Amino acid sequence: MRGAHLLGIAALAACATRPANGDDVYRARAGATFTSLECSQRAVASFGYRVTWFDGGTEGTLRAERVFNDGPQASRGYLTVSVPRDPGTTMYVTGERIAESSRMPIPTNPGPPTGRPTPTPTPVPTVQRTGPRRVSPGPVASDARHLVQRCGIGGTELG
């Protein structure tokens, strides 16, 4: 019996524990109106996003993308709005930002040698690549908050 209690407590703790990478996706929800999805489509366009997926009229899903080139590394922001087809509808909004693959600069040659040249091995240019990765949502989280305020009723952030 005690083992079953410990197992139950461990299961509850696992469900209640927030994943370590949960800070890189912003989640919010609000009560949906009849026009929440259409309002979201107009709102993301006014924020500078391009709608890449739209499924439905009053219920469905919308996904929008925006390129951010304002830092040392380009990134793409994604807003996803979902209005389920259930009674007592709630709209769900997620915001995430993905850093693009980057290429580190190739080391430069120091220039022509002065004086007596010494033989040195030819440096092999190295290129270091990193794949796309999710980063802090930053401005995308702000856009998601504004979207919920503009198109939903009584929005709240989700942990």
What are the boundaries of each domain within the chain? 22-99+132-159
More confident position, 94 or 35: 94
pTM of the predicted structure, to 2 decimals: 0.65
Nearest to 63 by CA among 85, 76, 139, 35: 76
pLDDT at 33 over 50: yes
At residue 115, the pLDDT reads 57
Mean pLDDT of 19-48: 85
At residue 56, the pLDDT reads 74
For the stretch 72-126, pLDDT in tens is 778 899 999 998 876 568 999 999 999 876 544 444 444 555 555 555 565 666 6
Judge whether 79 and 140 are in contact, CB under 8 Å: yes
Mean pLDDT of 27-45: 91
Mean pLDDT of 18-24: 55
Mean pLDDT of the chain: 74
Q: What percentage of the chain has pLDDT greater than the value 90?
A: 35
Nearest to 84 by CA among 154, 43, 32, 40: 32
Mean pLDDT of 30-49: 92
Judge whether 81 and 40 are in contact, CB under 8 Å: yes
- Specify the CATH superfamily of domain 22-99+132-159: Kinase associated domain 1, KA1 (3.30.310.80)
| Neighbouring C-beta atoms of residue 13, cutoff 10 Å | 9
One DSSP character per residue, 40-106 reads HHHHHHHTT-EEEEEE-SSSEEEEEEEEE-SSSS-EEEEEEEEE-SSSS-EEEEEEEEEEPPEEPPP
At residue 25, the pLDDT reads 92
> Directed axis angle between helix 36-46 and helix 139-151, to 10°?
140
